Amino acid sequence: MIMILAVLSVAPLLGSPLPSVAAAPCMRPTRAGTQVQGEVRICPGRYRIADPTEQGIIIAAATGTHIDLTGVTLESGDSVPSRFVGWGITSRGVDAVTVTGGTVRGYRYGIRLEGGRSHRISGSNLSGSRSQADQSTPARPMATDQLNLTRPDSFERYGGGILLRRTTGASVTGITARGAQNGIALLEVRDSYVADNDVSMNNGWGIHLWRSSRNVIARNRAQHTRRCDTQVPAADCGAAALLLRDASDSNTIVDNDLTASSLGFFLAGERRGIRRSTGNLIYRNDGSGALRTGFTVSFGWNNDLVENRADSAGTGFRLDHSGGTTLRGNTAIGARNAGIVSEHGSDNTIVANVLIGGPVGIRVAAPQQSGDSSRRYRIDDNVLTRLQQGVVLERTTRAQVRGNVFDGVGDGLVIDGDGHASEVTGNVFLRASGWFIEAPDLAAGGNYWATADASTTTAKVKGRISVLPWKPASAAGY
């Protein structure tokens, strides 16, 4: 008898499975409001469950809940994107909720987590969430298509693949949220990591932050985020591949693909109603092919845009009413309007950028009589070529223009009367079909010129401009 029991006890190890250990247990949700906790595996298959009261289909009810959706499709059954309501997976006020895998579609939000710390979302397909229809046509723009950038009670209703609200230390990786209005929303979120996600082909915002700080947004794809693009010319309805606004501070935005969107990166602000966003690093992102602007910073302070690309955009980089901002090492090739535009700003630094092709390389101005003044710019070491105008300063005071290379331009440097005291030195002027410098009155000594002598240079400048001391371009290595 002892021998028989021993054989039976090892039978499962020899390939004779017992029914009780054939597979880990799983559950099948049948209605909205299903609460779960602990280690939860949803049985593979398709589930069609509506959530008209927006309580959530599956609710993580306790800290440490892990929901495995591998092989699962959870859908609302509604076929009209503008009417989608409900949440696929949700939690409130608990920590360390983990959601992995699966497909969730047809809801206002695929996953909505509110409060708590250390959540993890990975590998889920959340495409096909709620989307407002774009009503505009080339002949008839519609004001209803304009997105609200300021009111959370409006843009929270827009929906999206993921909503994180008032969470800390969350991680969102490897998810897909395409073909809807918005991809990933961070509202009052801190210290999160959002990386390697695909939120392309939406018509609102690929990733958007509101009052969210110290987050890392890295290596995401948010291509072709467009709205109102059927209008001629395309209207600005507020769509952006990546949007920050209202005191979203100290975020790191790095290596994201924002190409072919209405706006690539947009840091949005206003004089009243929205607090400035400060201290953000926007590094090595690609906003090329933007219908309007590759990178925009509006009413921001102390933000750094470093080594980004914005080729073939309407405007490569734009600063509006912003200060203490640095544009360093960026590239804009073939801008339709300008490589870099800054209006009504102060204490901004524009250095070591490469601007090739288009009407204007760098334009700094204060066009509105009642707007903020334009002053204290540092414009150094930029390369400007194949441009109708290299650098244009309008109603701007106390600017420094140093060490730039002007090659193959129409007019190199254009300054109006407000800029007569600008520091212009150490620049290299090579080829200009028009004027090297056009200004009413300017001291431009200490620059390098591709002309035979000072008198020849004087014939290529317009206005009362002193070119002494004169230096040949060969002295700068050209």
Which pLDDT score is estimated for 95? 98
Which pLDDT score is estimated for 140? 73
**What are the average pLDDT values for consecutive 10-residue runs of the chain, which has 478 residues?**
29 38 79 98 98 98 98 97 97 98 98 98 98 78 84 92 98 98 98 98 97 98 90 76 97 98 95 88 98 96 98 98 98 98 98 98 94 94 98 98 98 97 98 98 97 97 97 97
* Terminal alpha carbon distance of the chain: 99
The answer for residues whose C-beta is within 8 angstroms of residue 58's C-beta and 6 or more apart is: 29, 34, 36, 42, 67, 74, 88, 89, 90
Token pair of 438 as six digits = 């056009």
Encode 50-67: b = buried (16+ Cβ within 10 Å), e = exposed: bbeeeebbbbbbeeebbb
Which pLDDT score is estimated for 137? 73
The answer for residues whose C-beta is within 8 angstroms of residue 383's C-beta and 6 or more apart is: 353, 354, 355, 356, 404, 405, 407
Distance CA 394, CA 465 (A): 17
366-382 per-position pLDDT tens digit: 999 888 899 999 999 99
Which pLDDT score is estimated for 294? 98
74-110 per-position pLDDT tens digit: 999 999 999 999 999 999 999 999 999 999 999 999 9
Predicted TM-score (pTM) of the model is: 0.93
Distance CA 38, CA 243 (A): 35
Token pair of 95 as six digits = 């920590």
Quickly list H helices, 94-202: 152-158
CA 228 → CA 86, 151, 224, 388, distances in Å? Answer: 27, 21, 12, 30
Token pair of 364 as six digits = 């700094």
The single-letter DSSP state of residue 147 is: P
Distance CA 199, CA 184 (A): 8
Which pLDDT score is estimated for 251? 98
Which pLDDT score is estimated for 236? 80
Using DSSP, state whether 396 is helix, strand or coil.
strand
Distance CA 154, CA 190 (A): 22
